[in-house]
A and B are shown apart, each in its own frame.
Chain A
Amino acid sequence: MHKLRLNLLHLYMGLFLVYMLAPLVVMSGAAFNDSKLPSIVPWKGWTGKWFSEMIADERMMLAFANTLWVAVAVAGIAVLIGTAAAILINSVSGKVRTALYGMMISTILIPGVVIGISTMILWTKMGNALGTEFFLFNPGLHLSVLGQVSYIAAMVMLLVLARLQSFDAGLEEAALDLGASHGQVMRRILLPHLYPAIGAGAAVAFFQSIENFNVTQFTRGGADTLTVYVFSKVRSGITPTINALAFLLIIVTLVLAVAYELNRRRKAHEEAAREAEARRAEALEEAL
């Protein structure tokens, strides 16, 4: 490739990374600026007070706790449903498969606003029709969970399905042939193969839930999640406590990402070593 074009591409990549990461730096920086308005200019000196104010902000802490339980619930349910859906899709074919798969995928494309309103209307109308005050039929974060699951399950399904396609169904037959029960086949053979995808699915579901706004906004009733809380703060005037929170979230994300990458490298390294050993054994056999 032409030298100039190559250098331009390198430069572009660098600039793009700056573009992607600079806003996060600005936001983090504002967490340490001793200024009432969240900004890095003008710089009024270092302070850690926004972190202590953040801890003292009970509404934010409550929103944080809400976000966590909603995300855990969504991840749990979405993983269950998504995995079941992937297994089902993988075992049907033809028109049934096309129809089911199309319906599942389309949930990702439905605007969150639509999901939020439709979930809210369905469950509250159902409550009215049944004439019950049971909590399930009232607005609240449990409805946010249901609404979020409706499309996050499809993401889990896609991840698990991709992994399923590299699964040798012969392994299940081998296990059955050796006397395993259906439950044992699922637990010892299929699920261990799927765990990486299920883990990734759970992580995706967890983070998607944390960042969800649209569905939550329409279904939450009076409860806050972090996203909703930050949103309301931005509109009503904010202090850099949000930045302190953002800084902590970015750090957690970075640590998790680096840990993931290191783990991936270690695994790849181990696998390469094993394959090298198999090749050596193969060579030995040839000399036999």
Chain B
Amino acid sequence: MQDLLRRYGPGLTGLICLLVAFWLVMLVIVPNVTLFEQSFRPYLPVVDIGGPKDTYSFRNYLKVLDGATETSLFGIAFSVPVHVKTFFQTIWYSMVVTVVCFALAYPLAYYMAKVVRPRTVPTLLLLLFVPLWVSEVLRAFAWWIILAFKGPLNVLLQGLGLIEDPIRWTNMGYTGVMVGLVYTYVLFMIFPIYNAVSSLDTNQIEAADDLGASWWRIHWRIVLPHAKPGIASGAVMVFMLSAGSLLVPSILGSTTSQWFTQTIDQWFKDALDWNTASAYAFLLLLLCTVFVSVAMKVFKVKLSDIAK
């Protein structure tokens, strides 16, 4: 702070502090505290707000337990509340998306960082960046076209003789959602891993090769450990974006796929019950916080590494 004053004088220093304070207090802390506070209040008509009925309770949170549905896991059938099921399905499928993205991205990131001629890399990055700059809704829309019942994918597969009849891709549970999420977020896995692998000294790979290590051992013992912060960063980004996505599940979802964000959206927009929506949103926030903390523990990385 002394340093700031000395360099920029009291006027500019004051302005800098004011801007940061506005951001962190008015746009981050107070809204989230309000959300938390509202999530414990009941949804009431305007006249009753502040009245005797306006008391704190866990009632909004307990709504996740309403309405049981039959489900089965590993062949065992049991009944579970609808929203609880949605919650865990969102977590599960977000994890699947994360793993698939990693599997797709790792060879590619390694290829760009260590195999291809360095002069080609900017061009490759540029080509990969194009879909990233095209907005998320259009990327999801593109897959909506491709996966359509009479769409290009079915036509292509039929033309190749791989399938007889067209497939209803968007009516196969979470398939459409998975495809859309992977396509939309795989780039967020590639770039951090690429950055991490780039910083690995190529001599280390050659030294291991020279010592007789097989290619998979080189990756397992040298490249992967070095890329760990990048992987953690990519995994956290992809998981958070997937779990928090509302667009892709809404556009590519089937009648049997429900995403937790869609449930929140329904409370907010359809039921107009902002308080319950707040409680659900807070659950989502909690989930994300837990996931990031666990990921940081497992990968032994710091928040500052993830942000790279």
Contacts and interface: CB of A to CB of B under 8 A. Distances in A.
A119 B143 contact: no
A257 interface: yes
A106 B12 CA distance: 26
Interface string A108-147: 1111111101111110010010000000000000000011
Interface string B107-132: 11001100110000011101111110
Contact of A117 (B123, B250, B264): B264
B8 to A, nearest CB: 5
Contacts of B15: 84
Contacts of B7: 91, 169, 172, 176, 182, 185
A41 B158 CA distance: 13
A207 interface: yes
A109 B151 contact: no
B137 interface: yes
Interface in B215-251: 215, 236, 240, 243-247, 250-251
Interface string B5-40: 001110110011101101110011111101100100
Given A172-B7, A261-B126, A114 B145 contact: no
Given A1-B115, A9-B111, A88-B16, A27 B307 contact: no
Contacts of B129: 257
A6 B115 contact: yes
Contacts of A115: 31
A155 to B, nearest CB: 10
B63 to A, nearest CB: 16
A222 B24 CA distance: 28
Contact of B278 (A27, A121, A185, A250): A121
Contacts of A6: 115
Nearest to B274: A121
Secondary structure at chain A's binding surface: helix, strand, loop or mixed?
Answer: helix
A26 interface: yes
A21 B130 contact: yes
B281 A113 contact: yes
B4 A119 contact: no
Interface string A253-274: 1101110010010000000000
Interface stretch (B51-59, B69-77, B81-89, B284-292): B284-292
A241 interface: no
B138 interface: yes
Interface in A205-242: 207, 210-211, 213-214, 217-218, 226-227, 230-231, 234-235, 242
A118 B32 contact: yes
Contacts of B4: 87-88, 91
Task: Identify the interface centre among B17, B140, B142: most chain A CB within 10 Å of its CB.
Answer: B142
A27 B34 contact: no
Given A85-B20, A91-B1, A235-B250, A113 B142 contact: no
Contacts of A117: 35, 264, 268, 274, 277-278, 281
Contacts of A108: 307
Given A23-B183, A227-B137, 14 more contacts: A9-B107, A12-B107, A40-B152, A41-B150, A85-B23, A105-B303, A114-B285, A119-B31, A182-B7, A214-B244, A214-B247, A246-B134, A253-B133, A257-B133
Interface of B: 1, 3-4, 7-9, 11-12, 15-17, 19-20, 22-24, 27-32, 34-35, 38, 49, 104, 107-108, 111-112, 115-116, 122-124, 126-131, 133-146, 148, 150-152, 155, 183, 187, 215, 236, 240, 243-247, 250-251, 261, 264-265, 268, 274, 277-278, 281-282, 284-285, 288, 292, 303-304, 306-307
Interface of A: 1-2, 5-6, 9, 12-13, 16-17, 19-21, 23-24, 26-27, 30, 37-41, 80-81, 84-85, 87-88, 91-92, 100-115, 117-122, 125, 128, 146-147, 149-150, 153, 158, 169, 172, 176, 181-183, 185-186, 207, 210-211, 213-214, 217-218, 226-227, 230-231, 234-235, 242, 246, 249-250, 253-254, 256-258, 261, 264
